[in-house]
Amino acid sequence: MLRGVIYRLLQAIPVVVIFAVLVFMLLQLLPGDPAVAIAGSEATPEAIDRIRTQLGLDRPLLEQLLSWFNRLAHGDFGKSLILNQSVVSAVVERLPVTLSLAFLSLMITLPAGISLGVLAAYWRNTWLDSFVMVTALLGVSMPSFWLGILSVILFSVTLGWLPPAGYVPITQGLWPWFSALIQPAVVLALFQIGFLARITRSAMLDVLDQDFIRTARAKGVDEWHTITKHAFRNTLIPVVTVTGIIISLLIGGSVVVEQVFALPGIGRLIVQGILARDYPLVQGTMLIFGFSFVMINVLVDIVYMLVDPRVRFG
């Protein structure tokens, strides 16, 4: 088991390295001179040169790459041009917002998605199954930002129940924090729930068709235990592997949702950086994202190894 974990961690290293190189290359992708692109079209030649030396763009490519890795190893992810602070501190400031959103959303997604999928699978081909599946399909087809706007019109403007935008830290009270986040969290969760429900249903159907379920029923195990103890546990195995993807979709979706609900989170930071052409910020944030995801996926794989004894690499 430990060998499997180590193997999995080692697998992650080349991925992280290649990813860092790709993010480094992002700046080189810019059509024309990166320094000009960052400085803007009205900048004076002195300003352009200043940016060039500041970002080390005048040095040979290999030297840039090596110094890039050197800085990363020391935890220096760059400095934002517009915010005038280090990328790390900008991200850390906004981390609680995005984490709160993701956490709340996940707490909604997992129970809802899994139970809907299980219900649909157990009562397959009934109206419940059709209803759940149609709802799930709609969930994955509707754009989250649009739903967000509609939700704000309904719940904030018309009914006045919830605030339309902004983030309230939990230190100012549980209800204010919750009421500000619940709309974005639900909107974000809808896609995930649809996705998870479809996959869970499919996994559960596979499990229910298996012989060991028939054996359990024939043995006389009551239906409730057959489902919860035997079927459900085995359904969770493929669901765990999908969790990494769910988290990935969640963070990806939060980029848009944070914009709609004006939440000062990391997603919004990236968009602001892109629109302001603050490439160091964009690069630094993408790196942080990338590293976090690789780590999350490693963790998901480890949990998978814990849960399914058949899968122990190495």
Binding positions for another protein, rule: CB under 8 A: 14-16, 18-19, 22, 26-27, 29-31, 137-138, 140-146, 149-150, 153, 157, 195, 206, 245, 248-249, 251-253, 255-256, 259, 270-271, 274-275, 277, 282, 286, 289-290, 293-294
Taking the complex as a whole, the smallest distance from the CB of residue 310 to another protein amounts, in Å, to 18
Taking the complex as a whole, the smallest distance from the CB of residue 223 to another protein amounts, in Å, to 25
Q: Which is nearer to another protein, 34 or 185 (CB)?
A: 34
Taking the complex as a whole, the smallest distance from the CB of residue 209 to another protein amounts, in Å, to 11
| 70 vs 63: CA distance, rounded Å | 10
Q: Which is nearer to another protein, 113 or 253 (CB)?
A: 253
Closest by CA to 154, choosing from 144, 164, 140, is 164
Closest by CA to 29, choosing from 269, 282, 270, 255, is 282
Q: Which is nearer to another protein, 245 or 307 (CB)?
A: 245
Taking the complex as a whole, the smallest distance from the CB of residue 236 to another protein amounts, in Å, to 17
Q: Which is nearer to another protein, 61 or 274 (CB)?
A: 274
Closest by CA to 249, choosing from 291, 213, 296, 303, is 296
Q: Which is nearer to another protein, 231 or 246 (CB)?
A: 246
Closest by CA to 261, choosing from 173, 114, 117, 155, is 155
Phi/psi at 283 (nearest 5 deg)?
Answer: -60, -50
Upper half-sphere CA count for residue 168 (Cβ side, 13 Å): 16
| 250 vs 107: CA distance, rounded Å | 12
Taking the complex as a whole, the smallest distance from the CB of residue 307 to another protein amounts, in Å, to 19
| 102 vs 250: CA distance, rounded Å | 7
Residue 206 DSSP class: H
Taking the complex as a whole, the smallest distance from the CB of residue 164 to another protein amounts, in Å, to 11
Q: Which is nearer to another protein, 19 or 131 (CB)?
A: 19
Q: Where are the beta strands (DSSP E) in 104-158?
A: none
